[in-house]
Structure 1
Amino acid sequence: MYFLWYLLIGLVAGWIASLIFKGSGSGLLVNLIVGLIGGLLGGWLVSLFGWVPTGTWGTLLSSIIGAVVLLWIVSLFTRHKPVKTV
């Protein structure tokens, strides 16, 4: 049962992070992956500051923080080709 709860929190966190970072969602699967990885990253990051996320809202907040950081890191490594004007 907790596995489904973690998937739901990851999906919501990935969706919110993609709205914050890009302004639009990225699709169900990408949001889920970003949210789940962001949950791990966010839990680790906030623990560095001495905060241990508890409860649903704490877990969701740390997952959103991690997902936004993950999207930011990915954007550093992806290149956008400039559009040539004729």
Structure 2
Amino acid sequence: MNMSGESLVVILLVGIVAGWLAGQIVRGAGFGLIGDLLIGIVGAFIGSWLLPKLGIHLGAGIVRAIINATIGAIILLLVLRLVRGGGFRRY
């Protein structure tokens, strides 16, 4: 797989945006810039794998990538919160 510099920048930007959005939606789960980036990138893989399996297809382009990554990052943050013992809290 040959990845251009532009592709890497897009992946990093989508990861940062998705990680930050997920951190805002799942309050108290922010991990800083690097942590949010990693959560966003892993969330992108989760979202792009899980949503089509569920028959959910959202838009196209960069907006779709951000939405998929954000949904995947939210799922990841909720699972991390459960594993860490924080449970679900209502705010």
C-alpha distance in 2, partners of 1:74/1:61? Answer: 20
Letter aligned with residue 56 of structure 1: I
CA separation in 1, counterparts of 2:13 and 2:75?
A: 20
Q: TM-score, normalised by structure 2?
A: 0.79
Q: Could you say what secondary structure the match of 2:15 adopts?
A: helix
**Partner of residue 32, structure 1:** 37
- 2:69 alignment counterpart: 63
Residue 32 of structure 1: how far off its partner (Å): 0.2
1:37-76 CA-to-partner distances (Å, cap 9, x unmatched) read 0000011111112326630001100000000000001111
| TM-score for the superposition, normalised by structure 1 | 0.84
SS in 2 for 1:22: coil
Which ranges of structure 1 fall in alignment gaps of 5 or more residues?
Answer: 81-86
- Structure 2, gaps ≥5 residues long: 1-5, 87-91
Q: Please give the alpha-carbon distance, in whole angstroms, between the structure 2 residues aligned to 1:63 and 1:53.
A: 13
RMSD (Å), alpha carbons: 1.7
Distance 1:72 1:65 in 2: 11
Percent sequence identity over aligned pairs: 34
Aligned mate of 1:5, from 6, 10, 13: 10
